[in-house]
Amino acid sequence: MHLDTSTLAVSIFRPPRSLRTQASKIITLEKAESGVTLRVGETFDLDLEGAWKIRIGDATTLRFMGASKKTAQGAFQACASGRTKLYATSDPSCRQTSPPGMQPTLYLEIPIHILP
């Protein structure tokens, strides 16, 4: 028996993107200013070490998923393609003393690029 392989179709199962699991990236203070590039559905954890207040520039493209066991600032997920930024501020510990220290508030912008 001869098998004609010229018409043989091979079916390869590839799960839909929503079922694929991606290892979450961890973005640290050292990596933050260079930015983050993700695909829709991918996640990352933000670990800036210390107490930071985080604000999402465009919540239609990026969402906060909640606290993370791995990192201080939590996990984020790319929701739609586009560009946004995370804005982070942190007051130095000397600001909590009496009288408060004069060191300035730390300010960080993290550019986020989300691909389809």
Q: What pLDDT, in 10s, does the model give residues 61-111?
A: 999 999 887 778 999 999 999 999 999 999 888 878 888 888 899 999 999
- For 116, the token pair is 């389809």
The CATH label, of 2.60.40.10, 2.60.40.2020, 3.30.460.10, 1.10.150.20, for the domain at 23-115 is 2.60.40.2020
> What are the structural domain ranges in the chain?
23-115
Mean pLDDT of 16-42: 77
Mean pLDDT of 20-30: 73
Residue-level pLDDT at 27: 92
Mean pLDDT of 4-24: 43
**Do residues 52 and 89 make contact, with C-beta atoms less than 8 angstroms apart?**
yes
- For 55, the token pair is 């604000």
Single pTM value for the model: 0.73
pLDDT band at 23 (very low <50, low <70, confident <90, very high): low
Residue-level pLDDT at 81: 97
- Integer Cα distance of 31 and 110 in angstroms: 9
Residue-level pLDDT at 50: 84
